[in-house]
Amino acid sequence: MLGNPSQMDRAIKENPEEVVRELATHSALLPIEQIEANLKQPRLNFDDAALEELSASIKVHGIIQPITVRRLEGKKYEIISGERRFRASQRAGLKEIPAYIRIANDQQMLEMALIENIQREDLNALEVAISYQRLIDDFNFKHEELAARVGKDRSTITNHLRLFKLKSRVQEAVKERQISMGHAKALASITDDDALQISLCEKIIAEDLSVRTVEKIIADYQEQKANKNGAPAKNAKGLPKHLQEIQDRFGSFFGTKVKLKRDDSGKGQIVVAFENDGELNRLLDCLAEE
């Protein structure tokens, strides 16, 4: 059927389930000129040196794992996953490449490409965020619906989308994997001081700061800011050192100002500050992740 497009179209029309089942269990050798890149490919960057290394390996060993494509009209195919292998095969001068063929619409294709790459950890955190946002924009998914589609917690979706609040320099550091998702999540809580967000990002890179250290720096900054706005610097009676440390740990965990109060009987309360509904949702996400 692959060599006879009209026969393939007829089979898909008459019994699409059987065609999909058959294609799912077999790979085919496809002429490389019949394959085109996916314009909605979630992955944005391809390291040139890594491509050369993979190309050299392919020349010796061939393609170990087939790529996955969807069939377009006639004998044309579009990549769902495996563009890196496809590009390296082109460099290696291959005329054919093994591929799994799928019958998919645009939504299914984007979902499959995203899920495939996330499972392989091929995407950096910003690329994942861009893909999540594309699904939301194109198909009107709510965060809960998208989480179910890609097999992630809602908090994971929310935290990735918060990366768009980062300044471009910080986003670049995420994209280049100079800072981790944990670092980026903490930096995204700085919404009122762009210079601090960027300088702290540079400090993370230069000094290899841990996520917990960054959270502590941000919590201290937010406490100082609250104090300047008239909030008391500490409880009226002050806190013993061990309780101050506990308060600091809560502040570091939530990335915001936390107030711990306790009376002589041992009763007390912990107050976690937030400025808006978005910040409240972020705090809930912290609890959900934990």
Point out the residues that are catalytic: 83
- Give first-to-last CA distance, the chain, whole Å: 51
Integer-rounded Cα Rg, in Å, for the chain is 25
* Helical ranges in the chain per DSSP H: 5-14, 16-24, 48-61, 83-92, 106-120, 125-139, 143-150, 154-161, 168-175, 181-187, 194-207, 211-228, 241-254, 277-289
Dist CA 194 CA 244 (whole Å): 29
The residue whose two tokens read 């601090």 is: 196
C-alpha dihedral sign at 120, 123, 124, 127? negative
